[in-house]
Amino acid sequence: MAAITIEGVSKRFGAAMALEQLDLNVADGEFVALLGPSGCGKTTLLRIIAGLETRSSGRVLIGDRDVSDLPPAERGLAMVFQNYAVFPHLTVFENVAFGLRMQKRDEATIRRQVNRAADLLQIGPYLDRYPAKLSGGQRQRVAVARALAVEPAVLLMDEPLSNLDALLRLEMRAELKSVLKEAGTTTLYVTHDQTEAMGLADRIAVMHKGVIEQIDTPTRIYSKPSSTFVGGFVGSPPMNFLKLEAKNGVLACEGFSMPLAHDGPVLLGFRGEDVRLVDASQGLAFAVRVVEPMGSHLLLTGQVGGERIRVVAAPQAEIASGMTLGLQLDAARVVVMDTQTGKAL
């Protein structure tokens, strides 16, 4: 087991910067998810750590070793690919044993470690089969077992669940979490799916345009986003933002006020489930346009002033489109952002 340290890593593709002076620390045994929209550089970062991609500058350390210039095999890591890359011409056993064979381990060790990884991933019964006979989920398990069988210091996973259907993805997610917890491997996990990141990771690094916007626990990423991007990207529905004017150390609107050491226009961010719906006479006037019953809750889309707001209401609430309600905000559950930079104040 080992920590991962990224120091000032940049990657340039021609004139385009894919990664800009990036720093990241993943503690020993920690599970960090790299979350971001496609093109944000998260896969590039993962591949630089793996040694599959060259960096333009910076260093990569695994444990205390500078692995920046080592070939992938000597970095002491394993990887699970988006398309699994399970070798079709080898049996499941040989797939799982692949890394061990390359390390020239003795037959008994190979057998023991393959069986342990197979048990962990519950693919014991399929060891003699060829991958073509397996389902997508089973192949996924083989890919993970292959990675864990070498007992890597670091496990890198590149969108490992994105090729599975929704139900299977949910199932595998829970399973991965318990398997990796048990293995205790330091894991860096690339995904564009925020629920995966939220569900699995100890910490989430949200990436945007080649930089890490915020790295924090899932809860804080969700409730205290450091920028409008993070607030908008994480959470469904995304965070709402209202443009307000702060005056004399106070940020206030209808039915809400909080102290703020900043004068001028700001963005007030709040989650759709963090408001209280009250009578139209109190709080902010919220004109409901669309009501979507989602089962566990109602999703209301409407307007406050000229701005679109999404709010969550209890499933049994009797709300119809066209109604006007009042919104009451909780000062403890809001974030305030700079209108220019989009960063939290």
Partner 1 sequence: MPTSRWLPYLLIAPASVFLAVFFAVPLVQTIVLSFDGGTAGFFGNYQRMLGDLNFNVSLRNTFMLVLTVVPLQMMLAIGMGLMLQKMQRGRDVVLWIWTIPLGVSDLAAGLVWLAILQNTGYLNTFLFHLGVIDGPTAWLNSETPVTLFIAVAVAEIWRSTAVVLVIIVAGLQLIPKEFGEAAEIFGASPWQKLTRVTLPMLKPSLQSALILRTVLAFEVFAAVYAIGGRNIPVLVGEAYVWQRDNQNYSVAAAYAVLIMVISLAATAVYLRLLREKPEARA
Contact 192, 35 (CB under 8 A): yes
54 interacts with partner 1 by CB under 8 A: no
Q: How far is the CB of 93 from partner 1 (least distance, A)?
A: 13
Look at residues 187, 203, 196, 119 and name the one whose alpha carbon lies nearest to residue 163: 196
- Of 73 and 314, nearer to partner 1 (C-beta) is 73
Cβ distance 291 to 300 under 8 Å?
A: yes
Nearer to partner 1 (CB atom), residue 120 or residue 309: 120
- For residue 153, the Cα-to-chain-centroid distance in whole angstroms is 21
Nearer of residues 9 and 78 to partner 1, judged by Cβ: 78
102 binds partner 1 (CB under 8 A): yes
C-beta of 102 vs 317, nearer to partner 1: 102
Contact pattern from residue 122 through residue 151 relative to partner 1, giving x for each residue in contact according to CB under 8 A and a dash for the rest = -------xx-xx------------x---x-
**Distance from C-alpha of 44 to C-alpha of 24, rounded to nearest angstrom:** 14
Which residue, 51 or 238, is less far from partner 1 as judged by CB? Answer: 51
Please give the Cα distance from 252 to 271 (Å, whole number): 18
Applying CB under 8 A, the span of 80-88, 172-180, 197-205, 329-337 interacting with partner 1 comes to 80-88
Q: Are 291 and 298 in contact (CB under 8 A)?
A: yes
What totals of helices (H) and strands (E) does the chain contain, helices first? 8, 20
Query: Any contact of residue 193 with partner 1 (CB under 8 A)?
Result: no
Integer angstrom CA distances of residue 154 from 74, 195, 207, 269: 12, 23, 21, 37
89 or 108: CB nearest partner 1: 89
- Which residues share a beta bridge with 270? 240, 334
The residue within the footprint of partner 1, chosen from 36, 99, 225, 272 (CB under 8 A), is 99
- Give the interface size with partner 1 as a residue count (CB under 8 A): 26
Binding part of the chain for partner 1, among 27-35, 86-94, 195-203, 286-294 by CB under 8 A, reads: 86-94
Query: Min. distance of Cβ 304 from partner 1 in angstroms?
Result: 48
Taking the least distance from each CB to partner 1, the nearer of 73 and 250 is 73
Q: Which of residues 282-341 bind partner 1 (CB under 8 A)?
A: none
Q: Are 137 and 123 in contact (CB under 8 A)?
A: no
Alpha-carbon span 300 to 311, nearest angstrom: 5
Q: Name which of 103 and 339 has its Cβ closer to partner 1.
A: 103
* Torsion region of 284: left, alpha or beta (phi above 0 gives left; psi -120 to 50 gives alpha): beta
DSSP codes joined into one string, 246-268: EETTEEEETTEEEE-S--EEEEE
Sheet with 324-328: strands ordered across: 276-278, 324-328, 284-293, 298-304, 307-313
One of 29, 30, 87, 124 touching partner 1 (CB under 8 A): 87
Among 81, 177, 193, 342, binds partner 1 (CB under 8 A): 81
Tell which one of 71, 166, 261, 318 touches partner 1 (CB under 8 A). Answer: 71
With CB under 8 A as the contact rule, the residue among 31, 98, 270, 286 that binds partner 1 is: 98
In this complex, which beta carbon is closest to partner 1, that of residue 50 or of residue 246? 50
Is residue 56 close enough to count as binding partner 1 by CB under 8 A? no
Q: How many CB atoms lie within 10 A of CB 76?
A: 17
Asked if residue 72 binds partner 1 (CB under 8 A), the reply is yes
- Which two three-digit tokens encode residue 271? 């989650």
What does the binding site for partner 1 look like in residue numbers (CB under 8 A)?
A: 50-52, 71-73, 77-79, 81-83, 85, 87-89, 98-99, 102-103, 129-130, 132-133, 146, 150
